[in-house]
A and B are shown apart, each in its own frame.
Chain A
């Protein structure tokens, strides 16, 4: 399409005409205000057909759906987590803090059959630091760390931006640590005893 220069008209009737066309434009929008666009995803066939009417949505009550694989708030399904620490290691902004304790007994398997060997007394993700790169979800071996379609999670207090995913209370965590320490002691004692027995045999 060839572009032509806009001619500047200054005659009285041109001005009246341009004033009138302005009024008719706002008037036509006012008349179409009865229609409202519906909150549909971009793939919906109606999405590009709603040219008239109000374009805004009542946000907290209505919202346009976001893509399924978009990068929004992280969620960790702790039951499936094997506390491998890969996510914390790959995170470019260090927003994931993980503390692990070895389990003394059998603590079951994840939903994909991987054996769980570690407890996570701390599994914190600081959403205020998160850069939404999605690397942690890529490296996660059990697919327990995912990004959800939730994007509206602002907080008044920034401390609430740190999400705690652990399923252990501090008391339970302390108990598990002591159990592990005790097991270690017992194993050390058994080892020492075995060593002593071997020495005395010689």
Chain B
């Protein structure tokens, strides 16, 4: 219960910051000023937006399928929020440390699609229905390259446990029960003879342990944009043609929940990318001879210093990815439906399959 509340608070905090950052980043990239009135530099704008939404009337269209319409936002948010349960925030902190975390996450995120379809169908609105159909087609399609990219990371790490994957990507690897005698080699190739087990830092991140995971990371990042309905894959929302897509009929609190779920999804996919590819809560600084930067910036596992360093590194990497998501949104134009499907099925999926094959071969080299 405590983990639930703490995660919810953390998530709300991040989403508020993100919603504000989105407007400011967008404004700066377009040479505008963004919000300036509410609070210093408009920093209270996102909070005020939420307060405004909470005060608004809760409208349920007369012709809507009321049960589906009311249930959909809750289901969408619950599906996304449940994904946070398996994310390790620090060496000793994971809300629910289950052994098949990666599998659970993929499964629970897929539930999101059902919620989107419920919202689109329940609204009894053409735009909402079209938006939901597009959203479902897009998310289901992009789960394949995303899943394959995740699979290649899982094959390298030989684990479905997020915490175990995290430990493998740093100097603390030998402290994880069951990995006392495991070793990391530079680029994962034993024959090179450079042992990075105690060097840690960026050299043991998954994208360096197995260089083909860099490709997997790019594929996952592109696919995750599509899964969270972000530009340039935002045809489900496509303001200029579908008004707002599947949530066009929602207002007030229900819209706030959908908004929250959308931003939570962005945070979640970025967290997963960081955990699987970018060294999770591990520091990017390696130990260089007597200058043990990695240990200094890791803290002691289980104590407050370890928790703070872990959360700090995890969140700062996540925010870098979130910023990239924002920048991509304000840089690239929206893809057409056929371009979207072309990219998914004819480009990303074949490359992802190749990466999976290569990851399997690489794993043989690593032993």
**Is the CB–CB distance between B332 and A22 below 8 Å?**
yes
A184 within 8 A of B: no
**Is the CB–CB distance between B36 and A58 below 8 Å?**
yes
Smallest CB separation, A8 vs chain B (Å): 15
Once the chains are docked, how many angstroms separate the CA of A56 from the CA of B327? 20
**Is the CB–CB distance between B32 and A30 below 8 Å?**
no
Q: Which residue of B lies closest to A58 (CB)?
A: B36
**Is the CB–CB distance between A55 and B332 below 8 Å?**
no
Q: Which of B4-12, B23-31, B271-279 is the interface stretch?
A: B23-31
**Is the CB–CB distance between A33 and B28 below 8 Å?**
yes
**Is the CB–CB distance between A26 and B36 below 8 Å?**
no
**Is the CB–CB distance between A54 and B331 below 8 Å?**
no
**Is the CB–CB distance between A30 and B327 below 8 Å?**
yes
A5 within 8 A of B: no
Contact of A53 among B29, B31, B327, B330 (CB under 8 A): B31
Residues of B within 8 A of A29 (CB): 28-31
Q: Which residue of A lies closest to B32 (CB)?
A: A56
A27 within 8 A of B: yes
Considering only residues 4-54 of chain A, those with a C-beta below 8 Å from chain B are: 19, 22-23, 25-27, 29-30, 33, 36, 53-54
Q: Which residue of A lies closest to B30 (CB)?
A: A29
- The count of A-to-B residue pairs whose CB atoms sit within 8 angstroms is 37
Once the chains are docked, how many angstroms separate the CA of A29 from the CA of B30? 7
**Is the CB–CB distance between B31 and A27 below 8 Å?**
no
Residues of A within 8 A of B28 (CB): 29-30, 33, 54
User: B-contacting residues of A (Cβ < 8 Å)?
Assistant: 19, 22-23, 25-27, 29-30, 33, 36, 53-56, 58
The 3 closest A-B CB pairs, nearest first, are A33-B28, A26-B29, A26-B331
Residues of A within 8 A of B27 (CB): 54
Residues of B within 8 A of A26 (CB): 29, 327, 330-331
Once the chains are docked, how many angstroms separate the CA of A23 from the CA of B31? 15
B111 within 8 A of A: no
Considering only residues 284-343 of chain B, those with a C-beta below 8 Å from chain A are: 327-328, 330-332
B243 within 8 A of A: no
Q: Is the interface of B mostly helix, strand, loop or mixed?
A: loop
Q: What are 14 A-B contacts with C-beta separation under 8 Å?
A: A23-B328, A26-B29, A26-B327, A26-B330, A27-B327, A29-B30, A30-B29, A33-B29, A54-B27, A54-B28, A54-B31, A54-B32, A55-B31, A58-B33
- A interface footprint on B21-54 (CB within 8 Å = 1, 0 otherwise): 0000101111111001000000000000000000
**Is the CB–CB distance between A56 and B33 below 8 Å?**
yes
Known: A26-B330, A30-B28, A58-B36. 15 other contacts (CB 8 A): A23-B328, A23-B331, A25-B331, A26-B29, A26-B331, A27-B327, A30-B25, A30-B29, A33-B29, A36-B33, A53-B31, A54-B27, A54-B28, A54-B32, A56-B32
Smallest CB separation, B45 vs chain A (Å): 14
Residues of B within 8 A of A19 (CB): 332
**Is the CB–CB distance between A56 and B31 below 8 Å?**
yes
Once the chains are docked, how many angstroms separate the CA of A27 from the CA of B32? 14
Most B CB within 10 A of own CB, among A26, A27, A55:
A26
Residues of B within 8 A of A22 (CB): 331-332
Smallest CB separation, B321 vs chain A (Å): 14
Residues of A within 8 A of B30 (CB): 29
Once the chains are docked, how many angstroms separate the CA of A122 from the CA of B25? 54
Most A CB within 10 A of own CB, among B30, B31, B332:
B31
Q: Which residue of B lies closest to A37 (CB)?
A: B31
**Is the CB–CB distance between A54 and B29 below 8 Å?**
no
Once the chains are docked, how many angstroms separate the CA of A19 from the CA of B333? 11
Q: Which residue of A lies closest to B332 (CB)?
A: A22
Residues of A within 8 A of B31 (CB): 29, 33, 53-56
Q: Which residue of A lies closest to B37 (CB)?
A: A58
Residues of B within 8 A of A33 (CB): 28-29, 31
Smallest CB separation, B334 vs chain A (Å): 14
Once the chains are docked, how many angstroms separate the CA of A27 from the CA of B28? 9
Smallest CB separation, B90 vs chain A (Å): 31
Smallest CB separation, B165 vs chain A (Å): 29
Smallest CB separation, B36 vs chain A (Å): 6
Residues of A within 8 A of B33 (CB): 36, 54, 56, 58
Q: Which residue of B lies closest to A34 (CB)?
A: B28
Smallest CB separation, B35 vs chain A (Å): 11
Residues of A within 8 A of B29 (CB): 26, 29-30, 33
Once the chains are docked, how many angstroms separate the CA of A53 from the CA of B332? 21
Residues of A within 8 A of B36 (CB): 58
Residues of B within 8 A of A53 (CB): 31
Residues of A within 8 A of B330 (CB): 26
Residues of A within 8 A of B25 (CB): 30
Once the chains are docked, how many angstroms separate the CA of A30 from the CA of B36? 17
Once the chains are docked, how many angstroms separate the CA of A19 from the CA of B330? 12
Once the chains are docked, how many angstroms separate the CA of A53 from the CA of B28? 8
Once the chains are docked, how many angstroms separate the CA of A22 from the CA of B28? 15
Q: Which residue of B lies closest to A23 (CB)?
A: B331
Once the chains are docked, how many angstroms separate the CA of A33 from the CA of B328? 18
Residues of A within 8 A of B32 (CB): 54-56
